[in-house]
Structure formats: structure tokens, C-alpha cells
Structure 1
Amino acid sequence: MSSSGVIAELHRNSSNWGKVVDEIVKLERKIFPKHESLARSFDDEMRKKNSGLLYVEVDGEVVAYVMYSWPSSLYASITKLAVKENCRRLGHGEALLKAAIQKCRTRNVHRITLHVDPLRTPAMNLYKKYGFQVDNLIEGYYSSDRNAYRMFLDFDAD
């Protein structure tokens, strides 16, 4: 990871909540098609009880983030992982994925799930590197002509 990148966690009562949310919404709009973007509902998503967000700041600017949630005590989901285009391949996504997995593990969940476009090879490779396995192909997940793999990572029950 770039030495200037720092992972931070966004807390609901953070003094920088508005600034960070605004920057993430801008990233959402640039990276994701309108129907996949959480830009309009982002603030609501983050105010849900069982959700978390980690982000990387470089020179005071948010360049990457990961959202995750734990709807039950059994599993968690990584709902978004995004890196600003000119900051990719610097390790930010990998660092965030590792941190999100660790955060989910502290909840003692048995499984983490996520969805990924099979055509996003770098993302697929990253998830596989950390032990995620393809569970299912979901046709039309993103749009009528874009599918998704549902992937999962299981933890051994202690």
C-alpha cells in the first residue's frame, strides 16, 4: 500500500462525516453506473446499525472505501469495495479487503459474502487470493446484461 494512504473508520458521530460521505458519493458516481450507485441513499445506508465503512485517505482525499454489514450473527456482507481509478494497483483495495475481513471476524460471523462482476478480473483475483470461493452465478444481477458471482469466505468454527 502507498505509504501515504491511511485506513480510517467512519463513525456516525465523526466530525468529518459530511466531508467523507460527500467524497464517497462523488466516487460512487464516477465508478458505478447510476443504477448501481448508492450515491442517493448513501447517508441512509451508513446510518443503519449493523454496517461499517472503512476508507483510505491520501493527502486529505478519500481514494478508496469498503462498506460491509452484518445482518445476522451468522454472516456478514461486503457490499461495496471501490478504488478511485488513478489510485488502483497501489494496494488500497487489498488493504481495505483485509481490514474489512478482520472487522467482520470480530463479529464472530461464520461467513462473509459478496457479489462481483465476473468480468472484473482484478477484483476476482483479489477475492480469490483471500480465500473467497464462487458460490453461484446470478444472471442479471447488475442489469439485464450484467451478471454477478456470489462469492463467500467461510471461517472455521472454533
Structure 2
Amino acid sequence: MATGVIMELQRNSTNWAKVVEDIVRLEKKIFPKHESLAKSFDEELKKKNCGLLYSELDGEVAGYVMYSWPSSLYASITKLAVKENYRRQGHGEVLLKAAIQKCRIRNVHRISLHVDPSRTPATNLYKKLGFQVDDLIQGYYSPDRNAYRMYLDFDTD
């Protein structure tokens, strides 16, 4: 099971450059070039309604989740990645739960995300935590790669 420490990346933290460097390296390894935020990562993090949580293990970033809340009612998980040697140990689940909690604190009504249907472990994790498939978006990632649009609604009572 995951034993890393979940931390929120803060702009003024002393380890900002190292953490961003580790995450950019991870982005480049995991995501195809046109899906990677590696070149624009710093700009993404400067956005007003954006947050990033990461798991640190043995002094390195084991995984991270980026989320945003474009409105007071809605949030989006924009990235979730775990280093290959830390997969299937619970890191993704711990990160996703932490991001969901951050969104709940903001009283959003819905969190959405997109995932490639061929990424079965990711899709299963999202379903395990209550996300439901809303639609299959044809050509979302590229002309021959689709995405499930998934969502998690919170009770508003």
C-alpha cells in the first residue's frame, strides 16, 4: 500500500524547482508529446484556480494529480500520473482521494475528467471512487484516440 507523503505544491516552497522538474520528467515519460504539459507546466500552475498534489517517496515524486475549479460549482481532474515503479501500490488512489477532498472543500457539485478507454487501470480506479462514464468523446486525444468523459457528483443537500 502507498506510504508516500501527500503534499500540495506551493509556489513559494523551497523545493518548487525540484518538484516541478521531477513532474515534468514524469510527464514526458508517461504522456504522448501532444498530451504532455511538460512545456507549459509552470504556466498551468500559475493559473488562479489550479492545484497540484504530489506523493513523495524516498525523496522523489512518486505521482501527482493536477486539478482545477473553473467555477464554484465544477472542478476537473486534469492530470493523474504515477511513476511506473510505484504503480499498483495505491498511490493513484491516495492522490485522487486527496484531490476529491480538496474539491469537496470548495463545495463543487461535480468533478469531471477524461480518460483513454484503453487505460483500463485508470478507468477502474475512477469507477472505484464513484466516477461514472458520461460519454465517449470520439477523437478527443487524436483522430484515432477517444476518451471517456467521466464525472462524480456530490449531494448538494
Question: Normalising by the residue count of structure 1, what TM-score does the alignment of the two structures yield?
Answer: 0.98
Q: Which runs of 5+ in 2 are unaligned?
A: none
Runs of 4+ in 1 over 2 A off after TM superposition: none
Q: Per-residue displacement from partner, 1:125-147 (whole Å, max 9, x unpaired)?
A: 11001110001111111111110
For 2:117 and 2:29, the matched residues in 1 are separated by 20
Instruction: Find the counterpart in structure 2 of residue 104 from structure 1.
Output: 103
Instruction: Find the counterpart in structure 1 of residue 12 from structure 2.
Output: 13
Q: Which deviates more from structure 2 when the two are superposed, residues 101-110 or residues 11-20? A: 11-20
Instruction: Find the counterpart in structure 1 of residue 31 from structure 2.
Output: 32
2:77 is the counterpart of 1:90: no
For 1:132 and 1:17, the matched residues in 2 are separated by 31
Q: Per-residue displacement from partner, 1:53-103 (whole Å, max 9, x unpaired)?
A: 000111100010000000000100000000011110010000000000000
For 2:15 and 2:46, the matched residues in 1 are separated by 15
Identity %, equivalent residues: 80
Query: Which residue type is aligned with residue 39 of structure 1?
Result: A
Query: Which residue type is aligned with residue 2 of structure 1?
Result: A
For 1:146 and 1:110, the matched residues in 2 are separated by 29
Query: Which residue type is aligned with residue 44 of structure 2?
Result: E
For 1:61 and 1:45, the matched residues in 2 are separated by 21
Instruction: Find the counterpart in structure 2 of residue 81 from structure 1.
Output: 80
Displacement, 1:2? 2.8
User: Is the 2:2–2:94 contact (alpha carbons within 8 Å) kept by the matching residues of 1?
Assistant: no
Secondary structure of the equivalent of 2:24?
helix
Query: Which residue type is aligned with residue 89 of structure 1?
Result: R
Displacement, 1:52? 0.3
Q: Which runs of 5+ in 1 are unaligned?
A: none
Aligned Cα RMSD in Å?
0.7
